[in-house]
Chain A
Amino acid sequence: MRITKEDVGRISVLAKLELTEDDQSLFAEELSGILRIIDALDEVDTGSANEMVSPAGLTNVLREDVALSSIDPEEALKNAPEREGAFFKVPRILEAD
């Protein structure tokens, strides 16, 4: 499979990752090379094989529902790029009507 520069542009929007025009061209070329290797997975007869998502083989990991102390809000806000009171502050989310 070949990835075009336009594909990379479209994916970068999905990934919320701004890429320069140069990066888009470079990644299209590099990822096409990587996909040529990955396409070899097609040759494998996977028939009825399971999809292995984790090697731990654990299911339904539960714990007691006990309240524990966690990070103090002031501590949690310390690394915030911007804050206001007890909140993380971000630029506008909704369009102004």
Chain B
Amino acid sequence: MKLNELRAHELLPMIERQEVTVEEAVTETLDRIAAIDGIIKAYITVTGERALQRAKEADARLRKGEPPRPLEGLSVAIKDNICTKGVRTTGASRYLEDFIPPYDATVVERLEDAGAIVVGKTNMDEFAMGSSTENSAMFPTKNPWNLKRVPGGSSGGSAACVIAEEAVFSLGSDTGGSIRQPASFCGIVGLKPSYGLVSRYGLIGYASSMDQIGPMARDVKDCALILQAIAGYDQRDSQSYPNELPDYTGCLIPDIRNITVGVPKEFLDEGLSKTVKDAFMKALEKLEELGAKVVEVSLPHVRHALAAYYVISSAEASSNLARLDGVRYGYRAAGCEDSASMMAVSRGEGLGPEVKRRIVLGTYVLSEENHKKYFNEALKVRSLISQDFQEVFEMCDCLMGPTSPTVAFEAGEKTRNPLEMYLSDVYTVPPNLAGIPGISVPCGFDEEGMPIGLQIMAGQYDEATLLRVAYAFEQATDFHKGRPDTQKGAHESAGGGRSV
């Protein structure tokens, strides 16, 4: 078995015992990227030389007898909306094509302090707006299970590189499902932490009242390890959670006999595909077999979540992206006579269609004549949705539903209809509105071998329960062991196959 195929918790002890060097581990990941990423296109930038340099430094420290750090030598891919000092960070936008941040995001600092090694920056929908990575201004990313399908989005590159074994793990960001939906489409585990648990300092903000950074990995244990390294108070994010955190790997107990799982009936409505529903019902049976109590619950306002989400996220995006003014960094149109036209033309030329659509929608719902009807109303609906969650968490330890209504769809299938694209986030949006954590874990494959995801949600800051239930389910099933046959995909340029 090659080193790039190992999970974090398998590779770490080998590095700790110095059975393999960090340089060997990183080299095998970089070799894998060189071999396969021309087809998958998960990376916008690969930082090979820098990674090897850091790997040699890590080996030197270990040889001197310094104790290994918690993520020593693990190759990590970072979504390209997270700032990396001295390494181009584009947000997959032409507007920031040449932007080189003068500072690191807090999460990057924390990962590197913990010994992880950044191997590259991953593709995404431009400024995290999209559900298929087709809105990237650079190129689309392929789903390693079937190259004709999308990897999901917006963190599509971060999901594809993990299942294609081009990184041990990755970071994504999630505003309405952008970690969980691609994790589901690519058959990996993706965790959106509670709002405020992980610092957003250095994240290119999209909708700041919902944005969260989180880990994407090949199993739950890896996600817990990474969360431990990146979570915790940061003065540079004003919404940062100030309290003590539990030991996340310590709570991975595969025993859920006293757990009550709520299933919101609104998550099983029309629009849910039969294969996904069947896999979800089987997952519930498995949980009951493990001793959990499964009850039906209702979140009466959740059917308005998508509407509230698009009002609030577009409003915040239009405000956040006002920073793209062509003055301090980024694209500037040539030949403009005054500053006002320079800004308008630079934005018109540098931004892609989905970003423009949301800036227009956001400006519209915030305008003098509309903000009461749309923006303020959406904020009220949001608090009702949040109350619905609080009420059911008095009866249940966690909630479950499918992560997305379908498996990964074909490239080009939804690009002409933005509304249809938005619907693929219908189950992932409610947790962002309420600020609660959600995780997607593999729970099956359809008849064509495409992975299906199970979403688990818990009360705010209760990642301990979330991870425990996810771990118990994963340990009782084999779905997380599935690997796409990328060789086959590479030859046929179609048709996924899997080998478990």
Contacts and interface: CB of A to CB of B under 8 A. Distances in A.
A88 B348 contact: no
A17 B364 contact: no
B363 to A, nearest CB: 4
Contact of A15 (B363, B374, B378): B363
B328 A91 contact: no
Given A51-B380, A61-B238, A27 B307 contact: no
B367 A11 contact: yes
A87 to B, nearest CB: 11
Given A11-B360, A27-B357, A49 B383 contact: yes
B332 interface: yes
A51 B315 CA distance: 15
A8 B356 CA distance: 11
Interface string B337-355: 1111111110111010100
A53 B238 CA distance: 14
A84 interface: no
B429 to A, nearest CB: 13
A41 B308 contact: yes
Interface in A47-67: 49-56, 58, 61, 63
A47 to B, nearest CB: 9
A22 B160 CA distance: 35
B337 A52 contact: no
Given A23-B353, A37-B307, A16 B340 contact: yes
Interface residues of B, number: 75
B304 A52 contact: no
Dominant secondary structure at the A interface = loop
B376 interface: yes
Contacts of A3: 364
B85 to A, nearest CB: 10
Contact of A31 (B102, B239, B308, B357): B357
Contacts of A80: 327-329
Interface string A25-55: 0010011011001101110101001111111
Contact of B360 (A17, A40, A58): A17
Contact of A19 (B340, B348, B364): B348
Contacts of B35: none
A91 B374 contact: no
B311 interface: yes
Contact of A81 (B238, B239, B332): B332
Contact of A55 (B242, B339, B460): B460
Contacts of B379: 51-53
Contacts of B418: 30, 34
B241 interface: yes
A14 B365 CA distance: 12
Interface in B358-388: 359-361, 363-365, 367, 373-374, 376-384, 386
Nearest to A15: B363
B298 to A, nearest CB: 15
B195 A40 contact: no
A37 B419 contact: yes
B367 A50 contact: no
B304 A41 contact: yes
B256 interface: no
6 contacts: A30-B418, A37-B310, A52-B379, A55-B434, A55-B460, A91-B339
Given A17-B359, A81-B329, 8 more contacts: A34-B361, A34-B419, A37-B419, A46-B377, A49-B384, A52-B382, A78-B102, A92-B337
